[in-house]
Structure 1
Amino acid sequence: MNDNRVNLGKHVNRVNRDTDVTDVTDTRTVLVVGSGPTGLLLAGDLATAGIPVTVVEKRPAGISNLSRAFVLHARTLEQLDARGLADELEALGRPQDRLPLFGGLALDFAALPSRFRHVLVIPQYEVEKVLLRRAREAGADIRYGTEMTALSQDADGVTVDVTGSGGERERLRAAYVVGADGMRSAVRSAVGLPFPGRSVVRSVILADVRLAEPPEALLSVNAVGDAFAFLGSFGDGYHRVVAWRRDRSAPDDAPVDLDEVREITRYVHGRDFGMHDARWLSRFHSDERQAPAYRVGRVLLAGDAAHVHTPAGGQGMNIGLQDAANLSWKLAQVVDGHAPDSLLDTYQAERHPVGRAALRSSGGMIRLVMARRPWTPALRKTLVAVLGRVGPARRRVAYQITGIGVRYPAPSGAHRTTGARVPDVALAGGRRLYRALRGGRFVLITPEPYDDRGAHGERLAVERWAGDRRTSVLVRPDGYVAWASDTAGPTAGIEAALAAHLG
């Protein structure tokens, strides 16, 4: 176990053994708590890999259309492409090659080194529908109206007590539990992990409205120092409005009326776009928080249960989905006995820094928007100018927000590409990498024929480069380099690499 893990005996809540419950045991099962995008992607991956997976969700069945997340970034679309889902979501959403931030600043994605050179405007509920269908078709057991009430773990597994909507109680036994149950995670609380941080923006208004005079852009945002307003189209006649004004502070449960939304939008944009027919109005506060550990023994955290930050840049849902893509194949390897339990420690090592970077970037943007010091407008103007004129700076910001720039740490002495994201490279025979990755497989790309998969069967796809590259590369199921060698052929250590990474 690494030093970031929390002491298990100190933090675990023990189950009341006298509770009258049904005992359900399967030591290969992974239990996922939470059926948002993160939990559903994870469940679908595990079920596709043949791992028994149960998802418990305290909400009743049905996908809410009142979700906050609104965009899919390029790296997330690549991960969805590796699951055969990206094209379907692209047809449901609307691509936009620029993402507006503030003060006229926008990120241009047209030059991204990706098949997806845009941000896809699509509400979270559409993403959830597709992920839910996939998880069910793969065999995941999805239980709505079911709340986790207690959790304990031992050396062999995790015991979870759940209560159904009718009061029925059940005891579930799993090899591992993943908390994907959001900011107020019951799983995180059950293992005693703190969630340090603070509220950054209070009394942010969310509204879904119709507009008599909608803006030309799918996404519109502006800030004036003491207020900001974002507008985004759902594509069904409604627009999401996110609005804040410094002098309109109120608790989250304070009522909101459409006049308040109109007033803030006029103040920021100069007009209210003829808002009418609000189908939803709400207030929330935006926090910056991150759990110190994403793993405590056999319990792991993903998505908002592990990290939350401001909505600036639209990174929230995307980072959660990328968490799931990183964790799912590792859990499958460990549960099936192909890798030691210590492989799960790399989830913390690889994803915790990504969550921390998102807190910094989104927090920096929102603070710059909100700051009221006299020099702030000049700083914003300078930043817009720098990002508009300096290619490397603009590219660095775009890579960070889209996830394209994420690179994982590599062991000492590893090939220079180890841990790097692999783009959707062309393969021999007109194939491409992200199609070969489907099904949660590793992909070995070689310059010469290599047909001996040994005992790895359907867990490994062997491909050749479309061109004359001489490097052999083993690509992980999440699209990052596991191993590489500049010397072609089996003598370069291919067999050793396969044994080390596939068991």
Structure 2
Amino acid sequence: MAPDADVLIVGAGPTGLLLAGDLATAGVRCTLLERRAERQGLTRAFAVHARTLEELDARGVAADLVRTGERVGALRLFGDARLDLSRLPGRFPYVLVTPQYETERLLEERALAAGAEIVRGAEAVGVSQDADGVDVEVRTGDGAPRTRRAAYLVGADGVRSTVRERLGLPFPGHAAVRSVMLADVRLAEAPAETLTVGATGDAFAFLAPFGDGWYRVIAWNRRHQAADSEPVDMDELREVTRRALGTDHGMRDPRWTSRFHSDERQVPRYRAGRAFLAGDAAHVHSPAGGQGMNTGLQDAANLGWKLAADLRGWAPPGLLDTYHSERHPVGRMVVRGSGALLRAVLTERPLPRVLRGAAVRAATRVPPVARRLAGAVSGIDIAYPAPRGAHPLTGRRAPDVRLAGERPRLYEALRDGRFVLVVAANDPAVTYLATKRWAGRVRCAVAGGATNTTALVRPDGYIAWATDETAPDLRAVAIRDALAHWCGAPADHPAPERRP
């Protein structure tokens, strides 16, 4: 059967939408299938961390997203302990508080403008694969299921992922916290802080603004562990909020309420043949730290350029397997870290609570420790494994260095989805690349300041290769070898086309 697309994506949440936009920008035919007939106005995620904002900046949507929300330069952890984000490197030394639907809106607009196909009201109900492709059985409201075929499939369809289930992949883990209450409400008194959080041994409450007068309340009551199906009682919600925060801020006029339980789970493998899992379909964890949407978006940023390179036939051997080897450890770290934070917040024994608060206050007042905590929470310090003997920058986040030319920043130069080779002024590599031997795969950019380091930056903003070699001839050879490895055969010596 002829393929309908190069890549099928199931799930039009933030993860699937970013991936669709990346693939379409790279010229890959992709179709995104979404069970919901319309984009929902509800939201779960509010926090967009610094590293995610950098990834969105590399896609040209960060500035628009920042205008929809509020910047928070410090996070209150326990009591008066605060984690300072204002010293983070880069353009976004804060966490952005904005409803998830704003992120989805901008990512959907980008994906459609790039040429991605988004099919709503289309539910994936079956998955099978062979050596040449993947078949997805899709049910719509207008008749019998039809089969769509593609070279690759990505399941970004959330915690209850149909793709994961149909692939037969386990999702081991356990419930982290049960009977969490959610509500969208009005407040008679606005909180003093943008993000308001508090906990006692038996109550937890969190308030975040939508920016239009409505607030999301997240609350937990140890004294009443109800089933997810039990309605939220507003009297209970107010009482729990008062216990946790000292006031309910005049909570009123609920427009939506719900209960849920939070799990800690991770699939053992992010890849199964020609199918991949991303976002909540691959990992789910407690909401502590606001990591969920951010981790999914960074999954998509890691996977998209690798699928594009493979489909075009110039990916290095084993590139698609590095999606699992790079992102699975990150997911594991988030599951464990958010779980530890949640358990610390909800502990009910007085002595551990006192010790916890003292330890956190001390840690946030020691600059090196506070910087490491901020780097972990924000995602700025995420790094990927590097080969033995590689340059120390390899696998690390690329800073948004100044460039000479029409795109004055690195993350602007990344916006067309290509690798960026950052070289010194008058470097022989400029002339070499001007021959367009790697046309369409690499953009060459001249560093705006004095530097001896030449770096090849991946489309997801991580450094693939770097050298401090100063001898022009040796540097040119090293650059040529790096490009041949990461970007395939030169355009004037094309490699044979590989079947997807």
Q: By the TM > 0.5 criterion, same fold?
A: yes
Tell me the secondary structure at the aligned position of residue 443 of structure 1: strand
Matched, 1:466 2:448: yes
**1:344-398 Cα distance to aligned partner (Å, 9 max, x none):** 1101111001001111111111101111234212222222222232112211111
Residue of structure 2 in register with 1:8 after alignment: none
| 1:37 counterpart letter in structure 2 | P
TM-score, with length taken from structure 2: 0.94
- Write out aligned runs for 1:50-449 (5 A): 50-61=27-38, 63-340=39-316, 342-429=318-405, 431-447=408-424, 448-449=426-427
Tell whether 2:23 aligns with 1:38: no
Residue 92 of structure 1: how far off its partner (Å): 1.1
- Which deviations, in whole Å up to 9, do the C-alpha atoms of 1:234-265 show, x marking residues without a partner? 10100000000101110101011221211111
Inter-partner Cα distance in structure 2 for 1:297 and 1:175: 11
8 Å CA contact 1:103, 1:384 repeated in 2: no
Task: Report if aligned partners of 2:9, 2:30 keep a CA contact under 8 Å in 1.
Answer: yes
Q: Distance in 2 between matches of 1:380 and 1:104?
A: 12
Q: In 2, are the aligned partners of 1:76 and 1:403 still within 8 Å (CA)?
A: yes
State the SS of the aligned residue for 1:438: helix
For the residues of structure 1 that align with 2:373 and 2:185, how far apart are their CA atoms? 31
Deviation track 1:381-433 (CA, whole Å, cap 9, x = no partner) reads 22222223211221111111111010100011211111011111111247110
Work out the CA distance in 2 between the residues paired with 1:490 and 1:241: 62
Partner residue in 2 for 1:49: 26
| Aligned-partner Cα distance in 1 for 2:128–2:138 | 12
Question: Would the alpha carbon gap of residues 95 and 37 (structure 1) be closer, same or farther in structure 2, given more than 3 Å must change?
Answer: same
8 Å CA contact 2:21–2:111 kept in 1: the answer is yes
Provide closer, same or farther for how the CA distance between residues 318 and 330 of structure 1 changes in structure 2, counting only shifts above 3 A: same
**Equivalents in 1 of 2:40, 2:81: separation in Å?**
32
Distance 1:85-1:152 versus aligned 2 partners, 3 A rule:
same
CA distance in 1, matches of 2:447, 2:412: 14
2:3 maps to 25
Q: CA deviation at 1:105?
A: 2.4
1:491 aligned residue (432, 455, 474) = 474
RMSD: 1.3
Offset from partner CA, 1:89-143 (integer Å, 9 cap, x none): 0111111111223322222111001110111000100100111111111111111
* 1:458 aligned counterpart, secondary structure: coil
Cα deviations by residue, 1:47-79 (Å, 9 ceiling, x for unpaired): 010000001111112x22221100100000000
Measured in 1, the distance between the counterparts of 2:439 and 2:330 equals: 33
Residue of structure 1 equivalent to 2:494: none
Structure 1 pair 191–351 and aligned structure 2 pair: CA distance change class (3 A): same
Distance across 1 between alignment mates of 2:101 and 2:412: 25
Partner Cα separation in structure 1 for residue 278 and residue 359 of structure 2: 33
Of 102-111 and 302-311, the range deviating more from structure 2: 102-111
8 A Cα contact 1:59 1:145, kept in partner? yes
Measured in 1, the distance between the counterparts of 2:117 and 2:292 equals 26
Are the equivalent residues in 1 in contact too, given 2:279–2:299 (CA < 8 A)? yes
Which one-letter code corresponds to 2:131 in the other structure?
A
Shift of 1:159: 1.0
Letter in 2 for 1:495: R
Distance 1:451 1:357 in 2: 43
Q: Distance in 1 between matches of 2:233 and 2:190?
A: 20
Distance of 2:55 and 2:364 partners within structure 1? 29
Deviates more, 1:334-343 or 1:310-319: 334-343
Moved more, 161-170 or 232-241: 161-170
Aligned AA (2:415): R
**Does the 8 Å CA contact 1:24/1:171 hold for their aligned counterparts?**
no
- 1:16 maps to which residue? none
Per-residue Cα deviation, 1:176-234 (whole angstroms, up to 9, x for no partner): 00000000111111111100110011000011000000102111001112111000111
> How many Å separate the matches in 2 of 1:426 and 1:462?
13
- Tell me the distance in 2 between the aligned counterparts of 1:359 and 1:262: 30
Which letter maps to 1:165?
G
| Kept after mapping to 1: 8 A contact 2:78/2:357 | no
Q: Percent identity?
A: 56
Q: Equivalent residue of 1:378, what SS?
A: helix
- 1:490 is displaced (CA, Å) by 5.3
In 2, the alpha carbon distance for the partners of 1:287 and 1:490 equals: 55
Mapped to 1, the partners of 2:242 and 2:78 lie a distance apart of: 16
Task: Provide the C-alpha distance between the structure 2 equivalents of 1:314 and 1:104, rounded to a whole number of angstroms.
Answer: 19
Number of aligned residues? 479
* SS of aligned partner of 2:205: strand
Contact 2:206 2:218 (C-alpha < 8 Å) held by counterparts: yes
Please tell me whether the aligned partners of residues 82 and 361 of structure 2 are also in contact (alpha carbons under 8 angstroms).
no
Q: TM-score, normalised by structure 1?
A: 0.93
The offset of 1:340, in angstroms, is: 4.8
Is 1:481 aligned to residue 463 of structure 2? Answer: yes
* Residue 257 to residue 490, structure 1, CA distance change in 2 (3 Å): farther
Gaps spanning 5+ residues in structure 2: where?
Answer: 489-500
Deviating above 6 A after TM superposition, structure 1's stretches of 4 or more consecutive aligned residues are none
**Partner Cα separation in structure 1 for residue 243 and residue 416 of structure 2:** 50
